[in-house]
Amino acid sequence: MAKVKTTFFCNNCGAESPRWLGKCPQCGQWNTLVEEVVHDSNKKSTSAAYRPVDSTATKPLALDDIQTTGVARLATGYGEIDRVLGGGIVPGSLVLLGGDPGIGKSTLLLQVSGHIAEKSGVVLYASGEESQTQLKLRAERLHITGKRLQVMADTRLDGVLAEAVRNKPVLLIVDSIQTMYTEDIESAPGSVGQVRECTARLLRFAKETGVPVVIIGHVTKEGNIAGPRMLEHMVDVVLYFEGERSYQFRILRAIKNRFGSTSETGLFAMEEEGLGELLNPSATLLAERTEEESGSAIMAYLEGVRPILVEVQSLVVTTAFGMPRRTSIGYDLNRLIVLLAVLEKRCRLTLGNKDVYVNVIGGLKVNEPACDLAMAVAIVSNLKNRAVPADMVILGEVGLTGAVRSIPRIEQRIQEAAKLGFRRFIVPAGNKQQLKKLNGDVTVHGVSTVEEALQAVFG
């Protein structure tokens, strides 16, 4: 019996090593090398399910001779998804969708499958995690019916591809890539070798047949897609579905997109009948806002290139211990600590004996520096027990010197807020000089320092 040849692959970057090492020599990560069985690439595959076409059939073409006029994107039926993808799903593309467990990845793709099957043609949904009965129960809850949506519960990728060749669907969905395996690789499903080989076969299938493929990928505790890092390099589009499971809001974000921009995002809300689009997220986030309360301020932050109005709240109380607490939900804790230091040094406020708690309403996470000034005003509002005017929006980045610096896309932010009835704006002085003619009922006040901003808000 011939000796089985094995080698070691890095789970993080896919680097190969002839022996096990504690630290990957390529990416420097510890304990990421796993053992895989190596097969002879010249050996004829034992699988008869799906075979790639002969490579000699593909000949080089001049760039001007390639026709693209007949290529039409596949509409998903959801404007938010089409925006993120750049107008729809490109034929022959391979899309990877990642996200935390229970965030709604399978629900989102099942809803997309139902719409495409109703409008465009046969869709094959292959699941390695749920049975056909479970998929039927999920579809009934989402009110999805139709004979052109075909579901199969199989973890053998060769069988899935054979069924796809037989049925010629307009879309193939694989849920998930970590559960699929091919018999040509002896390692377990989810291993580096299996994930790499299964993704390569799906990519080959998509390019040769023109059928777009969407695969779901599990994520690690660090938030990265499980499996080799090269998985994200192999696919055409990488999408992340984010959000807090305790909140209803979800964000679809493009990390990589060969056919469109990566600055667009899609917003959804988890409801009883599935995921619904948030066409006006600002109005939804501010629907239950109460007026004339201290410790609350409104800001407009960019989700991609899309301005969204959210409410930030703060609570400042005298501490009972020697070390004051700083707690942040939805806002970077390090930025909060720096902001409090700036308020103490530049505005002469006493916060060293206060516990400070800040929160971004709706479960959103804002990491944009343009939110600094609104957060500072909310903290001072609760500290002084002075309410921020209800029709005021505060924008600006705060530096360590206490200066308020300019932010991008100021006009789009003001226009979005004006649609919801906000009339007074505190913006950086540099941005006010860039503004063109605005509506007559909108008042914009430019400030250069945090002290000026506090004076403009509270008088």
Tell me the chain's radius of gyration from C-alpha atoms: 27
Binding residues: 99-106
Euclidean distance between CA atoms 51 and 45, whole angstroms: 9
Encoded tokens for 63: 């760039």
Q: Can you give the three-state secondary structure of the chain, one letter per residue?
A: CCCCCEEEEECCCCCEECCCCCECCCCCCECCEEEEECCCCCCCCCCCCCCCCCHHHCCCCCHHHCCCCCCCCECCCCHHHHHHHCCCECCCCEEEEEECCCCCHHHHHHHHHHHHHHHCCCEEEEECCCCHHHHHHHHHHCCCCCCCEEEEECCEHHHHHHHHHHHCCCEEEEECHHHCECCCCCCCCCCHHHHHHHHHHHHHHHHHHCCCEEEEECECCCCCECCCCCHHHHCCEEEEEECCCCCCEEEEEEEEECCCCCCCEEEEEEECCEEEECCCHHHHHCCCCCCCCECEEEEEEEECCEEEEEEEEEEEEECCCCCCCEEEECECHHHHHHHHHHHHHHCCCCCCCEEEEEEECCCCCECCHHHHHHHHHHHHHHHHCCECCCCEEECCEECCCCEEECCCCHHHHHHHHHHCCCCEEEEEHHHHHHCCCCCCCCEEEEECEHHHHHHHHHC
Instruction: Calculate ∠ Cα 283-292-246, nearest 5°.
Output: 45
CA atoms within 13 A on the CB side of 249: 18
| Residues constituting the chain | 459
d(CA 2, CA 6): 12
Summarize the annotated binding site for ATP as residue ranges. Answer: 99-106
Distance, CA of 427 to CA of 436 (rounded, Å):
14
Tokens 């209803």 sit on residue: 248
The verdict on whether omega for the bond into residue 176 sits within 30 degrees of 0, i.e. cis, is: yes
